[in-house]
Structure 1
C-alpha cells in the first residue's frame, strides 16, 4: 500500500506525516481530536511542558479507548447471551414439535 505525506497541525506546529492513500480524512480527524485535547490541557495547565501535555492527552485518549472497548465487550456479551437464548428457544420448540409429530 502506498502512502503520501500530509500536513497536520498540533498546538500551532505543523508536522508532515506519512499516511496510507485513502486514509487522509481519518488521519485529519484524529489529528483534530488530538489538537483539541492538547489545547484543552494546555489551557488548563500552563505550567506543563509540551511533552507532559502530550503524555496527559495520550492517557486521556487511551482511557476513552478503554471505556469504548469495555462497552463493546459488554454489548457483545449481551448479544451472545440473547443469541444463546434464541437458539435454545428454537431448539426447544423443534423438540416439542418433533414429540407431537411422533
Structure 2
C-alpha cells in the first residue's frame, strides 16, 4: 500500500492508497476539498467537523443523482419517516450514521 500526503482545506493528511489508485484518490481529495472550501467560504458554518458532514452529504446526494437510472426506493429505516429516500437505503443509512455521530447536536434531516 502506498501513502500519499494530501491537503484538504489547508490541513495535511497522510492517506493510504492501493497501488495504481493514486489518481482516483487525488481526484476524490480534490472533490472533497472543493466541497468543504465552498461551504467554508459561504461563511455560515465555521466548525471543520460540521463542514465535513455537510460536504459528505452534498457529495452523497450528487452520487445518488447520478444513479437515477436505478429506481429510487423509499428508505427502510429512520430516514423514511423524515421523508428521505435513497437508492437501496444507502443514503438513508449514511444519514442515520451521521445523525448518530452528531449525537446531541441534533438530527440532520
Same fold (TM over 0.5): yes
- Which of residues 9, 12, 27 in structure 2 aligns to 1:11? 9
Residue aligning to 2:99 = none
Judging by fraction of residues, say which structure has more helix.
Answer: 1
TM value normalised by structure 2: 0.61
CA distance in 1, matches of 2:58, 2:22: 23
Spell out, residue by residue over 1:20-51, the C-alpha distance to the aligned partner (whole angstroms, 9 max, x if none): 00000110011011100000000013543000
Aligned length: 71
1:15-94 aligned at under 5 Å gives the runs 15-70=13-68, 72-73=69-70
Give, in whole Å, the separation in 1 of the partners of 2:27 and 2:37.
15
Which 5+ residue runs of structure 1 have no aligned equivalent? 75-102
Structure 1 residue matching 2:24: 3-state secondary structure? helix
Computing the radius of gyration from Cα coordinates, the structure with the larger value is 1
Kindly state the Cα deviation for residue 69 of structure 1 after the two structures are TM-superposed: 1.1
Q: Runs (4+) of structure 1 moved beyond 6 Å?
A: none
Q: Which runs of 5+ in 2 are unaligned?
A: 72-109
TM-score where L is the length of structure 1: 0.65
DSSP 3-state at the match of 1:73? coil
